[in-house]
Amino acid sequence: MEEFCAKWHDKFLSVLRIMTGLLFLEHGTAKYLGFPHLEKVPNPVSMSGVSGMLELVGGALLVLGLFTRPVAFLLSGNMAVAYFYAHAPRAFFPMLNAGEAAILFCFVFLYIFFAGPGPWSVDAMMRRK
């Protein structure tokens, strides 16, 4: 078990980065490209719309693992703003203000900023060359 973890934990980091990136990208595509179709699409110049642009571009870069650290730092900040701006005014507890995902993404991205993209990423491929 120890051996398996020592060998695989940085690859799981890449998997975590790709999954959170995909979840993020999906919010961006839903807001800007209409896929998947949302009932209510936010205005592109609103807070939520601008954040959609970050989700679209940042999410795609995270999935690829390109410029991971700066992108993760930016998105972490974006999620902190989203939480305090959109969710915190609704209620104190994340369960009631629906801000759980924003909190979790904020800290996952903060961690990725510190830990880097892991081996399955364009960043790592470029470094190897």
Partner 1 sequence: MNATAIESIWSPRVRSVLRMIAGLLVLQYGTAKLLGWPVVKMFENLPWLSLYGVAGMFELVGGALLVLGLFTRPVAFVLSGEMAAAYFIEHLPRGFFPVLNHGDLAVALCFVFLYLACAGGGPWSLDAMMRKKG
CA distance linking residue 73 with residue 69, whole number of Å: 6
Q: Which of 5, 29, 119, 21 is nearest to 76 (CA)?
A: 21
Spatial CB neighbours of 112, under 8 Å, sequence gap ≥ 6: 13, 16, 17, 20, 62, 68, 69, 72
- Nearest distance in Å: CB 64, partner 1: 17
- Nearest distance in Å: CB 22, partner 1: 9
Instruction: Please choose, out of 41-49, 60-68, 103-111, 121-129, the segment that lies near partner 1 by the rule CB under 8 A.
Output: 103-111
Q: Binding residues for partner 1, per CB under 8 A?
A: 4-5, 8-9, 12-13, 15-16, 19-20, 23, 26-27, 30, 36, 38, 93-96, 100-101, 103-105, 107-108, 110-111, 114-116
